Amino acid sequence: MVVVGAGLSGLSCALHLLGAGREVVVLEREDHPGGRAGRLDMDGFRVDTGPTVLTMPELLDEAFAAVGESVGDRLELLPLAPAYRASFTDGSTVDVHTDRERMAAEVARVAGLREAVGYLRLRDWLTRLYEVEMRSFIDARFDSPLDLLGPDLVRLAAMGGFRRLSRVVGGHLKDERLRRVFSFQSLYAGVAPDRALAAYAVIAYMDTVAGVHFPKGGMRAMGEALAGAAAKAGAVLRYGESAHRLERRGDRVTAVITERGERLPCDHVVLTTDLAAAHRLLDHRSRRPLPHRYSPSAVVLHLGTDRTWDHLAHHTISFGTQWERTFTEIIDEGRTMSDPSLLVTQPTLTDPSLAPDGHHLLYVLAPAPNLAAADIDWDSEGPRYRDRIVAVLEARGMTGLDASVRAEHLVTPADWARQGLARGTPFSLAHTFAQTGPFRPRNTVPGTANAVLAGCGTTPGVGLPTVLVSGKLAAARVVAGTERRAR
């Protein structure tokens, strides 16, 4: 088996294949594992360039368990308390705790006892929602929309899963600040809360109920740990090598040809590249009547500073005043936010080893339109937008931020595109109804019998937990395919 890409989905797939007794070769174009959970070292600051929020670590454990290991064998996961701190322009803050009683007390402090009761109802609903979705809609293989049919579809509908997210959350919570805390996660799925299905509140479950962790050594440690377990179990990991083309015979891929011209024979190939790149390798053209819709992108500013600010948690969401306007500008108008809402992550609060002594590391994410939605010359606009983001943060309490910067790196949608990501977004296809579940590009490709897809562009979708599941589902496809062929 050849797995193209040593990102988290590819490594998850490799571990599950190894656990099923398959021989696995993993090709990775970078010189290290991790994929979009990338890395950048700048002047002693150890930067994570991809996801910063780790939820559902049991899915990592499931991948390790396939080869007889566990998360604890390879990683030290540190629970974050609070999981987030939400900061508002009126000066108020909400600390988001995983613990039920502690969070209820925080909600009561911020908005009163009635809202605390509403929070407890919402929490119970989120838990039920997760239980239904995980077993039937996330950790599930779809071959057609008919696979949706079943008792859990009825349960999901009865729970309000097909209503709008903002309305369902608003049915439990009246305080606008709390509504934002439990609905902003739809941005991960590329849809505004007032347009997203309530089913995507499952992401809020992962964040606010299941809890948020951080691996000691940074998010990059996950790729290293998974790759280490795969190598120990017998996988051959080949770094600095890209797949150039696929050799075919009829409806089967017979070999992967590398950029160096080497031929790697294979019984199956698993492609974890960006969806558009995978389709190019397979020479596949989608038959969808409408083109795919991509998620918004992000501008990310990595800053190494010589100071910190007391009001920051590990993850701080700095909300602007015009929350709804944000989505209109990014998604509908193709403009940058006039009143930015920003995610500020300071991992050195949890792991000081990621920066030189006495220094800190900041990861600032600003949602932005993707390249198809906006006509922005990011090479010229990027530095100006960087200054604007810094000015906003200074006005919101991070006084002296600009003067404290000792190292920095800016990433814009144009940079994501240069990395080969379609439409310049790291978040792939948006989770609209027409691109969800069985309507999302499947992990099999018509016309090719032994190629399987994994990663955020296919099922179940975007997000660190779901790409780990994606790898497992891809491995299951491969195993089922080889067993059928053997018969």
| Residue with tokens 């609060």, as numbered in its chain | 349
The whole-number pLDDT of residue 200 equals 82
Any alpha helices (H) in 233-343, and if so which ranges?
A: 275-282, 323-327
The whole-number pLDDT of residue 288 equals 63
Distance CA 457, CA 299 (A): 20
Prediction pTM value: 0.93
Q: Is the dihedral of CA 189, 191, 193, 195 positive or negative?
A: negative
The whole-number pLDDT of residue 462 equals 87
Local structure of 27: helix, strand or coil = strand
Task: Give the side-chain half-sphere CA count within 13 A for 466.
Answer: 27
The whole-number pLDDT of residue 482 equals 65
Amino acid found at 177: R
List per-residue pLDDT tens for the chain, 487 residues long. Answer: 999 999 999 999 999 999 999 999 999 999 999 999 999 999 999 999 999 999 999 999 999 999 999 999 999 999 999 999 999 999 999 999 999 999 999 999 999 999 999 999 999 999 999 988 876 666 556 565 555 557 767 888 888 888 888 999 999 999 999 999 999 888 777 788 888 888 888 889 999 999 999 999 999 999 999 999 999 999 999 999 999 999 999 999 999 999 999 999 999 999 999 988 999 999 877 666 568 889 999 999 999 999 999 999 999 999 999 888 888 999 999 999 999 999 999 999 999 999 999 999 999 999 999 999 999 999 999 999 999 999 999 999 999 999 999 999 999 999 999 999 999 999 999 888 777 777 788 899 888 999 999 999 998 888 899 999 999 999 999 998 765 555 4
Distance CA 183, CA 162 (A): 15
Cβ contacts of 419 within 8 Å, gap of 6 or more: none
Distance CA 447, CA 282 (A): 9
The whole-number pLDDT of residue 142 equals 57
Q: 10 Å Cβ neighbour count for 390?
A: 18
Please state, in angstroms and as integers, the Cα–Cα distance from residue 390 to each residue in 239, 319, 364, 396, following that order.
36, 14, 9, 10
41 secondary structure, DSSP code: E
Distance CA 241, CA 263 (A): 12
Any alpha helices (H) in 245-333, and if so which ranges?
A: 275-282, 323-327
**What domains can you pick out in the chain, each with its CATH number?**
2-36+218-286+428-486 (3.50.50.60), 99-206 (no CATH), 295-423 (3.30.519)
The length of the chain in residues reads 487
